[in-house]
Amino acid sequence: MGDMAEEVVAPEKGPNAWAQAITALVLCGALGGGLYVVQKNEAEAADKPAVCSVGDKDEKAAEEAKAAQRVSGTELCRALNRGELPALLGTPQEHALTAYGSDGSVEMAGGTDIPMPEGTVRLDTYTVKLSRTYDDLPIAGMEDLLNDAEKTTILGHPAVLYSGQTIAIRFNLGGGESDTGPGGIARTLVVSPDTKDGGGSYELAIWRQDNMRPDDTALLRIAQEVLPTVPDWTAAG
């Protein structure tokens, strides 16, 4: 019998102004994939939707984020992991197999740390990730730096829709080394937290486990339902 293996995919960050974060984000994707292997088995055994787990580390990160007037990874996970998410994705028969948040940061040139909390929910067909970047960069002009990009608006907020390549990560459950390779397409929506495009962004990404192109309509439905529920979202006047 050959070694058992589990394959997941993680999105690769597009070549925008903070493309230095690619390595860190790929690493986060790999760690998230390892977590998925464990939590997916637990969710399947219980035959019920996964919930956003909250440990001591998560609670501490949430307290630090609140003190700094930032959203936490746990809050993003909970905003994303809503009961209607499968229906919004067009797969109403499915449920969340894994749901988790993280509160990382990205070090830019010059040593500045940019907080980047994120929440991720994985179903059988789709994975959905919602992240928040606390930099001073506006959305305007970002479409010139990204693949297959187009300007749009979400609930009156400036936004850019673009395509990115996922990275397939194959974990050898028999104890051997993991390996990586090209995956499918992730569709990503970068949205300004306010209507004036004053800096910083939300990034909502979806990709499929079968490497088929994701449904843009599903992505936009999720953005319209989820983003207004995040604590630091500013509604259009």
Structure tokens that stand for 19 in this block: 């493309």
Residue 107 near residue 66, CB atoms below 8 Å:
no
Structure tokens that stand for 114 in this block: 């940019």
Per-residue pLDDT of the chain (237 residues; tens, 9 = 90+): 444 444 455 565 443 333 333 323 333 333 333 344 444 444 454 578 899 977 777 788 888 888 889 999 999 999 999 999 999 999 999 999 999 999 988 877 777 788 899 999 999 999 999 999 999 889 999 888 888 899 999 999 999 999 988 877 766 666 666 777 777 889 999 999 999 999 999 999 999 988 899 999 999 999 999 999 998 898 887
Alpha carbons within 13 A on the beta-carbon side of 158:
16
pLDDT at 130: 96
Residue 49 near residue 95, CB atoms below 8 Å:
yes
Burial group, residue 135, by CB count within 10 angstroms (0-12, 13-18, 19+): middle
